[in-house]
Amino acid sequence: MSKQITVAGVTVDPGKKALGVIEIKDFWADGQCMEIPFMVLHGSKPGKTLFIQVAQHGSEVMGLDAVRRLIHELDPAEMSGTLIYCLPNPLAFREKARATMFDPKPGGMNRIWPGNPEGSLTERMAHLILEELVSHVDEVVDLHCAGRHCPVWVYYEPDGVSELAPRETAERSEEMARLFGAPVLYVEVEAYGGRKTLRAICVDKGIPAIVPELGGHSHFDEEIIQLTHVGLRNIMIDLRIIEGEIKLPKKQVKLKWRGDPKISVSYTQKGGVFVPTVKLGDIVKKGDPVGFIYSPRTFETIETLYSKQDGYVFTIRENPVAHQGDGLVSVPEILGWLEN
């Protein structure tokens, strides 16, 4: 039998679910407090604690429906361990914006971790989430949304990128990325975001963490919601928080993320209309053509674009109207394939 726990001032008995808020008093000019909502599902048996958050960037909400489905099917009385869910940036969420208009920092909340109790509005929220929720968990999944070029991919760091993280933290982060079941694992071989992302801060503290990026053509893309739902379940099953069968695709590709896009992205040197000659997921060699630019005045081809390196066609610019210097096709290097 597990013990009663207290999370951010909310006491939860074994086998129960509880809702709570992290309050920042005197937050608004009219004296009202700021509330950051969270939920705790505390299993009847002891075990690991998983933290999931959605919409750190307030407009990136596709992960919510996958979490909704997960929460509805979970019974804390049958769980071993704990699940904590948080909606970390309610200001940006209300505004349906990447960052709140009250604190429009570049990159939004995901560039200011670990926050600051005496800093900006967003820094104060991040500090409290880290101290009250994240610092007490075993693993972290930070759900984001991105372009439509890939259904889902997962960012993580391999061993050696963080100077602080032990090897087992990096190895577990990689295993979490695999378990999420995305077709693409994007390996951050360099430090990303100035080590001010939640994922980087967690890894530096020895907490394995991943960032699944959800693509698709709408926030109600059933394929992606299902994939995300299964991915979260897989991690919980592997942590033995719940029972079930881990479901993985037959193959997953590992791609090498580099901070300098010029390494992998083909840029146009002439304005015009872009036509790709490759498809997402194609394997190409350095120097292979990946598309061309034609003039909307004469309809003549005025430029051919070539791959910068051997790799995997990961993104193709959707809007065909291109200006000089636009990045149109990215081909990151393939680090390997996983066979499940």
pLDDT in tens, 25-75: 988 889 899 999 999 999 999 999 999 999 999 999 999 999 999 999 999
Please give the distance of CA 184 from its chain centroid, rounded to a whole number: 13
Are the C-beta atoms of residues 58 and 72 closer than 8 Å to each other?
Answer: no
**What's the whole-model pTM score?**
0.95
Identify whether residues 198 and 73 lie together within a single domain: yes
The boundaries of the domain holding residue 195 are 5-249
Does some domain include residue 71?
yes
Is the pLDDT score of 148 beyond 90? no
For residue 61 the two structure tokens come to: 């909400």
Of all residues in the chain, what percent carry a pLDDT higher than 90?
88
Residue 150's domain is classified under what CATH number? 3.40.630.10
> Greater confidence, 192 or 88?
88
Identify whether residues 48 and 87 lie together within a single domain: yes
What are the tens digits of pLDDT across the range 91-127?
999 999 999 998 887 788 999 999 999 999 899 999 9
What 3-state class would DSSP assign to 80? Answer: strand
For residue 47 the two structure tokens come to: 């075990």
φ, ψ of residue 283 in degrees (nearest 5):
-100, 125
Identify whether residues 307 and 171 lie together within a single domain: no
User: Lowest mean pLDDT: which of 140-154, 240-254, 301-315?
Assistant: 140-154
**Among residues 279, 332, 278, 282, which one has the least CA distance to residue 304?**
278
Identify whether residues 62 and 125 lie together within a single domain: yes
**Nearest-angstrom CA–CA distance, 158 and 15:** 36
Identify whether residues 276 and 202 lie together within a single domain: no
Does some domain include residue 187?
yes
Is the pLDDT score of 217 beyond 60? no
C-alpha to C-alpha distances, 155 to 49, 112, 176, 208, 339, nearest whole angstrom: 21, 18, 10, 12, 19
The domain total for the chain is 2
Identify whether residues 270 and 228 lie together within a single domain: no
Report the mean per-residue pLDDT for the chain.
95
Residue 287's domain is classified under what CATH number? 2.40.50.100
pLDDT for the residue 297: 97
